[in-house]
Amino acid sequence: MSDTPPQNPDFDTMTRDIAEVPAVEVIVTVAVNLMSAAAVKLGLTEEGDEHKDLDEARKLVTALAGLLDASATEISSFHAAPLRDGLKSLQLAFREASLVPDEPGQGPGEKYTGPVYG
């Protein structure tokens, strides 16, 4: 057993660090994390179906679509365009992975993006 007390995070340093990060960078980072997590849950990684969970993927894709919709006027098209392309790819992958595909406009995130077609 160690006599060393557990390390407490330095919240003052963490607050200063996050204060220096522009909002656009935070939004893009969160979006990329949502995209990555959705890809894993869709079985699009090297592990394939090992982590596939379409219910979880639906939630992540919808959250990504909502974030991109809400932040569309806040981030430049330089950042938004590739994120929207990635979102569309995930939406199409979801439709392809589903045994019973959603009707156009009913898939994950499509209430924010409108119907997605291949």
pLDDT of res. 17: 80
Digit-coded pLDDT (tens) for 85-104: 999 999 999 999 999 989 99
Quick one: which of 90, 62, 74 has its CA closest to 28?
Answer: 74
Q: What is the mean pLDDT of residues 105-116?
A: 96
pTM of the model: 0.84
Locus of tokens 């959705």? 38
Domain boundaries defined on the chain? 22-96
What does the alpha-carbon distance between residue 118 and residue 115 come to, in Å, rounded to a whole number?
A: 10
Most confident of 18-22, 42-46, 63-67: 63-67
Please give the structure tokens belonging to residue 14: 């963490």
Locus of tokens 């077609």? 117
Locus of tokens 């959250």? 63
